[in-house]
Structure 1
Amino acid sequence: MKLTFLGTSAGKPTTERNVSALGLEFEQDNKWYLFDCGEATQHQIMRSSLRVGRLDTIFITHLHGDHYYGLLGLLSSKKLDKAFNPLTIYGPKGIKKFIGCAFADISFEHLGYHLKIIEYEVGETFVFDRFTLKVLPLVHSVESVAFYIKENDTSNKLNEEKLRAEGLEPSPLYGELKRGRSIVFHGKKLKSKAFMLEPVLGRSLIIAGDNSQPAVLGNYLNDLDLLVHECTYTQEVYDHLPEKVLHTTAKDLGEAAEEKHVKNLIATHINPRYSKNSKLGVEVVYDEIREYYKGRLFIANDFDVYALGKDRVVRKG
């Protein structure tokens, strides 16, 4: 499972970071999924290894411009790139109206490809070929959600080494065993259950939109393999803001992830004040999370690529 960060800034782009967008790919798959689509995401895609022609689905966490203003340009460029494969967008109520204002007729004839728009409800679950996705509520100034993604379990793997020990090489008989049927080979009955490996549980991750209370994710954080969550401020900076905003602090994020034993944490949506040219570098965000969280921790930068392995360990590519 591979994650490519296309934008990691909070609110506005900077010379170091663009606004929110994240690509997700699964092993041995010919498509990918985009989570949020801030302004200029199409430019970021062109600078990455991702290709618009393989983009299958877009998920929008909420209707703040830094999370969805890049949609219109991306949808238009897709046609110009002759990427005519169908595309589905999942977004909150209002996303259809927004796109409809730009495209008078949302149709295959207008865009050159089939565009499907689904306005989700909090609590809904959607089933895809490699995973299920559940929409979870967050706490923000507008309705904002997190997407809980659970990869399908693998339960039909044969113990090929054991079958070869019986003299049975790969053949259509393997398919019969996978379907739970017994077979007869060289006069011996081979029962399916005797040659099946233990199921491999699918990986789990949450990709969250803007949220002031990480703990609101509750039991979905329990032993989660990976949490991708905003971390807009350090606690001291937040405490001194003249006007409070509904965003997460590094302290709150670290405490929530540690309490629920989250295995890997990637912080994103970094406030522009934390930069290379500022008195406050991004390391202060890392250090504050680390004070409370003992798991594997990363602060995402634009174009960072991370892999969540089958061993549940995140590694930076």
Structure 2
Amino acid sequence: MKLTFLGTSAGKPTKERNVSALGVEFEQDNKWYLFDCGEATQHQIMRSRLSSGKLETIFITHMHGDHYYGLPGLLSSKKLDTAFRPLTVYGPKGIKKFLECVLDVSLANLGYELKIIEFKADDSFVFDKFTLKVLALEHSVESFAFYIKENDITNKINEKKLRAMGLEPSALYGKLQKGNNIILQGKELKAVDFTLEPIPGRSLIIAGDNCRPDILGRYLEEIDLLVHECTYTQEDYDHLQVKIMHTTAKELGMVVQKRSVKNLIASHINPRYNKNSTEGVEVLYNEIKHNYKGRLFIANDFDIYRLGRNSIVEKL
């Protein structure tokens, strides 16, 4: 499973970071999924290895502009790219009204099927490779996280055992994979005897803006990967004259350590933490790491990460 960060800034774009967008790919799949679509996401896609023609589904975490203002441009460019694959947009209440208004006023004729689905907390959806559950977060507007559970692999054939019996890969392998017994040299081979133990699917949460990471509760326990905002250090947040409902590095580290999260990728970085300031992203990393002993990454634009079946995240 690969994650490509297309935008990692909080609130507004900077010279280093665009606003929120994340592409997710599964192995042996001819499509990919986009989580959030901030302004200029289509530009970021063009600079990445991803293709708008293979984009099939978009998920929007909440109705703040830095998470969905990129939709009109991306949807329109899809037509100009002659990418007519149907597209589904999942989002909170309001996303349907927004898109229908934009498309109506601009007289856009997309030329492909666009489906808009508004969800609420605890809704679940089933896809080819995974199931997805919508989880409520705490923010200044309704905000959500997506709990993704990859399907288990339950029909993997013991090829080594079959080859040892003299059966090379053939159509008979396919019959065994479907659970059918076969006859080889007059002897019945039972599918159950040549099927490996199921390989558990990976699990991750991709969260929108949120001031309480602990609100995810039991969904965090033993999860393979959490992608979560980390907008401020605790000290900077404490000195804000107007408190904004975001997560601090200290709080994030404490929660994921308590819940035994295996891997954490922090994103949604406040523009104050940049290469030219006295405080770079290292202060966020160090504050999380002080409290969290798992694998930690601070995402940058165009970073690509792989979540392996061994539950280890690696930066590519």
Q: Name the TM tier (shorter chain).
A: over 0.9
Deviations 1:181-202 (A, max 9, x none): 2222112221111111010000
Q: Report the residue type matching 2:273 in the other structure.
A: Y
Aligned residue in 2 for 1:112: 111
Aligned residue in 2 for 1:132: 131
Deviations 1:16-70 (A, max 9, x none): 1110000001112111100000011111111111111111100000000000001
Would you say 1:158 and 2:157 are equivalent positions? yes
| Whole-Å separation in 2 of the counterparts to 1:178 and 1:106 | 51
Q: Deviation at 1:176?
A: 2.3
Aligned residue in 2 for 1:311: 310
Deviations 1:246-292 (A, max 9, x none): 10000111111111111110000000111111111110000000001
| Whole-Å separation in 2 of the counterparts to 1:81 and 1:105 | 21
Answer whether contact 1:100 1:106 (CA < 8 A) is retained. Answer: no
Specify the SS of the correspondent of 1:97: helix
Aligned residue in 1 for 2:181: 182
| Whole-Å separation in 2 of the counterparts to 1:41 and 1:9 | 12
Q: Report the residue type matching 2:3 in the other structure.
A: L
Aligned length: 316
Answer whether contact 1:61 1:145 (CA < 8 A) is retained. Answer: yes
Aligned residue in 2 for 1:258: 257
| Whole-Å separation in 1 of the counterparts to 2:105 and 2:275 | 45
Q: Deviation at 1:177?
A: 1.7
Q: Report the residue type matching 1:25 in the other structure.
A: E
Identity %: 71
| Whole-Å separation in 2 of the counterparts to 1:77 and 1:187 | 60
Matches within 5 A, 1:63-82: 63-82=63-82
| Whole-Å separation in 2 of the counterparts to 1:175 and 1:314 | 32
Provide structure 1 residue ranges, at least 5 long, that are not aligned to the other structure: none
Q: Deviation at 1:106?
A: 11
Matches within 5 A, 1:275-294: 275-294=274-293
Q: 1:217 to 1:106 in 2, by over 3 A?
A: farther
| Whole-Å separation in 1 of the counterparts to 2:103 and 2:273 | 38
| Whole-Å separation in 2 of the counterparts to 1:165 and 1:106 | 64
| Whole-Å separation in 1 of the counterparts to 2:83 and 2:185 | 52
Provide structure 2 residue ranges, at least 5 long, that are not aligned to the other structure: none
Q: 1:170 to 1:126 in 2, by over 3 A?
A: same
Aligned residue in 1 for 2:96: 96
Specify the SS of the correspondent of 2:296: strand
Q: Report the residue type matching 2:25 in the other structure.
A: E
Q: Report the residue type matching 1:249 in the other structure.
A: T
**Aligned-residue RMSD, C-alpha:** 1.3
Would you say 1:170 and 2:206 are equivalent positions? no
Q: Report the residue type matching 1:52 in the other structure.
A: S
Q: Report the residue type matching 1:215 in the other structure.
A: D
Would you say 1:41 and 2:41 are equivalent positions? yes
| Whole-Å separation in 2 of the counterparts to 1:220 and 1:298 | 20
| Whole-Å separation in 2 of the counterparts to 1:185 and 1:82 | 50
Aligned residue in 2 for 1:203: 202
Q: Deviation at 1:105?
A: 8.6
Deviations 1:216-259 (A, max 9, x none): 00111011100000000000111111111110000111111111
Answer whether contact 1:226 1:263 (CA < 8 A) is retained. Answer: yes
| Whole-Å separation in 2 of the counterparts to 1:17 and 1:182 | 55
Aligned residue in 1 for 2:247: 248
Q: Report the residue type matching 1:253 in the other structure.
A: L
Q: Report the residue type matching 2:312 in the other structure.
A: V
Answer whether contact 1:306 1:316 (CA < 8 A) is retained. Answer: yes
Given the two structures, how large is their TM-score scaled by the length of structure 1? 0.97
| Whole-Å separation in 2 of the counterparts to 1:230 and 1:91 | 18
Deviations 1:86-139 (A, max 9, x none): 1100000110110111112999x9211110000011101100000000000000
| Whole-Å separation in 2 of the counterparts to 1:106 and 1:275 | 37
